[in-house]
Amino acid sequence: MKKESVALRIILVGCLIVLLLVPLWMIQFIISERQVYRNEAVREISKRWAGPQTVAGPLITLVTNHEHINKDGTKSFSTKRTFYLPENLSVEANVIPEKRYRGIYSAIVYKTDLIIKGDFNFQKFKEKLDDPNLVESYLSFNIDDPRGIQQNIKVKWDDVVQSVNPGLKDKNVFKNGFNSAVIINKEKSFSSFEINLTLNGVDDLNFVPMSKNTNVSVSSSWGNPSFIGNFLPAKAKHLIFICLVEIGVPKVIIDRSNDHIRPAGDGFEQFLRAGQFPLALKQCFICQPVFGNLRDINSQ
């Protein structure tokens, strides 16, 4: 009798556990279902606005053409592209958030005004500039979702306004964005650039440190952003419901023993993951304000 009583008690306890778990499963199912609907709402809004944005660049590309003599005496030609990073990079971003609704679900969209300044040190690749096979040089800039580009992009090279071309001439490093042809003055040690653009996006705004010295300053009227990634803000404060953020990338992160990039493969993902790059670009995100998250900035 005692054995039967113990077995019966175990069965009853097991049944009670299952009964108690049923409501939890139901709640979890509802939460998952709502999350799916919310993600669908965000995708629907993104179709008409723009998706999450990753801002990277610029980098300068030098194109050289080479002639080869084959064993049979015929000639063949090859094109080589070498990518160089800026010496200094400064980004100022003013982010204006806005809520958009689809049914009971909402998504945080934003418009950001970007001012990107910096310079290239030509002494690091002077031999390449003197190459007689050099045929072209241009700047490339990454924007994840080009639909978010508003108004005309303004690019200055040594204070001279340059024409901007949509799309990329190659996708060895970046996957989407724009390019601008530039003329390099070989007698100068440095050349400066300035890029002004207005960009739309949803939820996330990411920045990639692509220079020896990178600094990003972000201001927004959204009072409770969240920051994820490998570099958290160096300074963050609220002033009259305005969030001010400054991010500086520690110099120890940067390895400039070799100043040009050798992509591991096609596409931006390989560019970010490859650990052999001069920059530790697998630790790429300086700052990612997630405007849909209500965690207070002071709790970071």
pLDDT beyond 50 at 116: yes
Say how far apart CA 173 and CA 81 lie, in whole Å. 11
The count of other CB atoms within 10 Å of the CB of residue 296 is: 12
Lowest mean pLDDT among 5-19, 73-87, 139-153, 240-254: 240-254
Say how far apart CA 125 and CA 151 lie, in whole Å. 34
Indicate the burial class of 193 (C-beta count within 10 angstroms; 0-12, 13-18, 19 or more).
buried
Q: Beta partners for 166?
A: 178
Letter string b/e over residues 178-191, b meaning 16 or more CB atoms within 10 A of that residue's CB:
bbbebebeeeeeeb
pLDDT beyond 80 at 253: no
Left if phi > 0, otherwise alpha if psi is -120 to 50, otherwise beta: which for 267? left
Does the global pTM surpass 0.75? no
Lowest mean pLDDT among 26-40, 88-102, 165-179, 237-251: 237-251
pLDDT beyond 80 at 259: no
Higher pLDDT among residues 289 and 32, named by residue? 32
Residue range 191-197: average pLDDT? 95
Could you list the beta-strand ranges (E) of the chain.
53-69, 75-84, 88-102, 105-121, 134-143, 149-157, 160-162, 165-166, 177-181, 190-202, 205-207, 213-220, 235-239, 242-248, 260-261
| Mean predicted lDDT score pLDDT of the chain | 75
pLDDT beyond 80 at 260: no
Length of the chain: 300
pLDDT confidence of residue 237:
54
Return the residue matching tokens 């005004």.
113
Return the residue matching tokens 């400064």.
90
Banded model confidence at residue 50, pLDDT cuts 50, 70, 90: confident
pLDDT confidence of residue 294:
27
Say how far apart CA 232 and CA 248 lie, in whole Å. 9
Phi first, then psi, for residue 98 (nearest 5°) are -155, 140
pLDDT beyond 60 at 175: yes
Going by C-alpha positions, the residue among 201, 179, 194, 162 that lies closest to residue 42 is: 201
Q: Which two tokens stand for residue 23?
A: 């409501």
pLDDT confidence of residue 177:
93
Residue range 231-256: average pLDDT? 45
The count of other CB atoms within 10 Å of the CB of residue 132 is: 6
Residue range 62-75: average pLDDT? 84
- What is the full DSSP assignment across 25-37? HHHHHHHHHHHHH
Say how far apart CA 143 and CA 177 lie, in whole Å. 5
Say how far apart CA 290 and CA 108 lie, in whole Å. 9
